[in-house]
Amino acid sequence: MQYVEKPPHIDPVRMRHITDEDLLAATGTATVEELRRHLSTRTGPRPVFDVARWAAGMSGTETAAQAVAAADELLGTEVDFLDKGRGRSRLYGFHYLRWMSPLVSAYALTGDPAYAKEWDRLFGQWYDSRDHVAGDWPGLDVVWYSLGVWSRSSLITQALAVFGEEPALSREGWLRMVKTVLGGARWAAEEHDEFRQGNWQFACASELLHVAAVFPEFDEASGWAEVAKARILDHLELDVRADGGHHERSPGYHSMCVEAVQRAAVIGEQYLGWDLAAHPRVRAMHDWYVALVTPAGWIPHLQDSGLYWPAAHLLRGHYLLGDPGYEALARRWLTPEQLRGELAWLPPRPDGAPAPAPAPAGEPDSSSRTLDTSRYAVFRTGWEPDSLHTVVNYGPFVGHELEPHSHHAALDFVLSGWGVPLAWEAGGPPSYDDPGYYDWFQATRGHNTVLLPGEEFAADRDATCDTFAALPHVDVFAGHHHGYPKRHDRRIVFVRESPSYWLVTDEIEDGPEAVWQVHGRSPWSERAGGHANVRGPGLYVLPAEPEAVTGVLHGSGPSRIPDPSTRTAEYGEIHTLGLRQRAGTFTVGLFPYAEDPPAVRLRGGEVSLDGVVDAFSGHQWTRCDTGGVLLAAACWGPSLVHDGIALVEARGLVAADVTYQGGFAAVVDTDRCTELRVHAPGVTRLALNGVRLRPGLTVTLPSSGRWRLEAAADE
């Protein structure tokens, strides 16, 4: 049989059915009563992110009341732990036992023995059934696999600390809990004695370190800690990309690994004298959140991911790393009660320094950027709630221990504005057992890209970013992929300066029939040669050559829709607009609106909108008023010309952005030391990077890089 992890090594005595004698020998205690009393009354160490500390800080809040209500719903619940009707994948997740966690929280809040008694009953039933449960994933045990061991151990460790000597938790129930933690740690140390890529080992190694630190009484604890530390460092080196993203490129699984790293870093700081937070990849993993997160506080559900809200993880990142930008974003998105709850989880610093205080902090840089190794391009206009945001995917298909979490699309994008999605995608499924998992959520048709009817999208798509420019007036991404037998090129120009919009140009080799596709939050209605969502905020989708559209396709499918007011994302319906085209090259404008679609004229490479006329040609953009006066211009190539006049001249020009409205200013990117000349009527003297130069419009740029010029007054 082919096994997903190592071939089974579940020792029936050391792991599955540990005797009382073995447990006492492993901890150097004489009786079960002595061991329980010791673990229940010692002053430390406590579990990381201790639920007892959280309960003390949250007593009397609505959050606490909700936790108690969730526990009350479990009282008397009858559970069939062998029920395969839960689904092939969900059966494994059910045995993580996370659904029992409200009982621990409620007891910590109230001290009511009813919750400990219910835990005792349910956990005993699980323990009795665990040897009999069988899953339908070949070669993968439901109970003894990395994520199951990780999840149960982290929960049971909390439960042991909270219930302590509570009489409602029986002697046998307490013993079974300790033996489950001990057996799981022994299994994990053997399973993960060498590096294996993926989130399973990363999470499990973090919990192995946690058990080793919280239960130093176990005679094997120091050995577990060494194994765990080695694997965590392996993953930071080989499983986290240089830009901080986890190897699988999924925000959800990235967050699972961030949580593992945060847990390990706090353990190291609190108990082991190990400064894991100083590792540069730890900061990079938090910066990855900052790069991708929308101004409304959520990260799109890219690849197999739920929609993720990183505010709590950023607050913990500030606790570990002291980055004021993380704190500023967390405070922007968390309510006072949520902030109180997150701070309540954090332990006092071992050096006596306080946890994050409510001091003002500066928000991170809001520039557009690429995540070069994760292969996402991000455009943003700022951190305000109505700011526009774009993510373009140009990454590879990534494998996994069990099933890949990558989706079958490249050069696809998602857009948002006013706190909600504008161009959305299917995202991750409710469960990997969902019947639409393969033909909707992972499929090309669930994404905003180009479909070639009858062609399968190859896993080896060789997607590449050819051009990226982040300039004051425009952001530009251009790339190509070979996911189809015919090469697909796509260029997205995001006009940042109001009126803002996206212009998307696609080219398919040999010009076969293609369907240009976008998904919106509401249905589409025909409007003046294009289509607009029937409700705002939305998009007005306008092809540059409407006559090239040979058909319009509509559809719909499920997707999580974020609600910033509640920080939730329930499944709703997204609506597909497909434009069937036969042209080899086609351009589509996407014009965002809060309430009503704007009046736009798009023809060829010219856009007329809100009193300005924008022109696109080759590798440049210009903006004039309706009288033809040049207001601004930009290029993402070797020249910038308007009406036959070179606005910027330089050897090695990579990109440039010039404004004439309200005074002359320019941003220039070059790849070498070069002489630069600019067209600036009425200007006699320039300042370069703030340094006032001698009169003249020709300057020397001393090296490659980005340079800023502006008009300087004569003395």
Residue bearing tokens 């409620």: 106
Distance, CA of 127 to CA of 137 (rounded, Å): 21
pLDDT score, position 23: 98
Three-state SS string over 56-79 comes to HHHCCCHHHHHHHHHHHHHCCCCC
Q: State the CATH class of domain 369-610.
A: mainly beta
Type of residue found at 270 = Q
Distance, CA of 702 to CA of 52 (rounded, Å): 60
pLDDT for residue 522 is more than 50: yes
DSSP state of 424: B
Distance, CA of 564 to CA of 421 (rounded, Å): 11
Model confidence over 29-88: pLDDT tens digits? 999 999 999 999 998 899 999 999 999 999 999 999 999 999 999 999 999 999 999 999
**Sequence-ordered list of residues with C-beta below 8 angstroms from that of 223, at least 6 positions apart, any chain:** 189
Which strand (E) or helix (H) includes residue 655? strand 653-659
pLDDT score, position 714: 64
* Domains 195-351 and 369-610 are alike in CATH topology: no
Distance, CA of 250 to CA of 431 (rounded, Å): 15
Distance, CA of 160 to CA of 124 (rounded, Å): 14
pLDDT score, position 441: 96
DSSP state of 127: H
Tokens linked to 167: 């009489």
**Sequence-ordered list of residues with C-beta below 8 angstroms from that of 282, at least 6 positions apart, any chain:** 236, 261, 265, 276, 320, 321
Mean pLDDT of 212-233: 98
Q: Say which CATH topology domain 619-711 has.
A: Immunoglobulin-like (2.60.40)
194, 285, 300: which is closest to 241 by C-alpha? 285
Q: How many CB atoms lie within 10 A of CB 348?
A: 11
Report the percent of the chain where pLDDT is more than 70: 98
**Sequence-ordered list of residues with C-beta below 8 angstroms from that of 386, at least 6 positions apart, any chain:** 295, 417, 418, 419, 594
**Residue 584 — pLDDT band, cuts 50, 70, 90?**
confident
pLDDT score, position 31: 97
Q: How many CB atoms lie within 10 A of CB 423?
A: 27
Question: Global pTM?
Answer: 0.95
Type of residue found at 343 = L
pLDDT score, position 162: 97
Model confidence over 471-480: pLDDT tens digits? 999 999 999 9
Model confidence over 448-503: pLDDT tens digits? 999 999 898 998 899 999 999 999 999 999 999 999 999 999 999 999 999 999 99
pLDDT score, position 651: 93
Contact between residue 207 and residue 149 where contact means Cβ atoms under 8 Å apart: yes
Model confidence over 351-364: pLDDT tens digits? 765 555 544 568 89
- How many CA atoms, within 13 angstroms, populate the side-chain half-sphere of residue 419? 11
**Sequence-ordered list of residues with C-beta below 8 angstroms from that of 12, at least 6 positions apart, any chain:** none
Q: Is the dihedral of CA 25, 26, 27, 31 positive or negative?
A: negative
Model confidence over 529-580: pLDDT tens digits? 999 999 999 999 999 999 999 999 999 999 999 998 888 999 999 999 999 9
In our burial notation (b when 16+ CB lie closer than 10 A, e otherwise), range 234-256 reads bbbeebbbebbbbbbbbbbbbbb
pLDDT score, position 356: 53
* pLDDT, mean over the chain: 94
φ, ψ for residue 594 (rounded to 5)? -85, -40
pLDDT score, position 400: 73
Residue bearing tokens 């994404």: 447
Which strand (E) or helix (H) includes residue 228? helix 221-238
Q: Which CATH code of 3.30.2320.80, 3.20.20.10, 1.50.10.100, 3.40.430.10 fits the domain covering 195-351?
A: 1.50.10.100
SS3 540: strand
How many helices (DSSP H) and strands (DSSP E) are in the chain?
A: 16, 31
Contact between residue 416 and residue 537 where contact means Cβ atoms under 8 Å apart: no
pLDDT score, position 359: 46
Tokens linked to 117: 């008694």
pLDDT score, position 141: 95
First vs last Cα of the chain: how many Å apart?
84
Tokens linked to 618: 């080759």
Tokens linked to 461: 């798509």
- How many CA atoms, within 13 angstroms, populate the side-chain half-sphere of residue 343? 16
Mean pLDDT of 669-679: 95
pLDDT for residue 392 is more than 60: yes
pLDDT for residue 402 is more than 90: no
Distance, CA of 574 to CA of 432 (rounded, Å): 20
Indicate the domain borders of the chain: 13-191, 195-351, 369-610, 619-711
177, 179, 274: which is closest to 222 by C-alpha? 274
Mean pLDDT of 334-345: 94
Contact between residue 280 and residue 287 where contact means Cβ atoms under 8 Å apart: no
pLDDT for residue 399 is more than 50: yes
SS3 211: helix
pLDDT score, position 511: 74
**Sequence-ordered list of residues with C-beta below 8 angstroms from that of 677, at least 6 positions apart, any chain:** 646, 648, 649, 650, 697, 698, 699
Model confidence over 115-140: pLDDT tens digits? 999 999 999 999 999 999 999 999 99
Distance, CA of 573 to CA of 556 (rounded, Å): 7
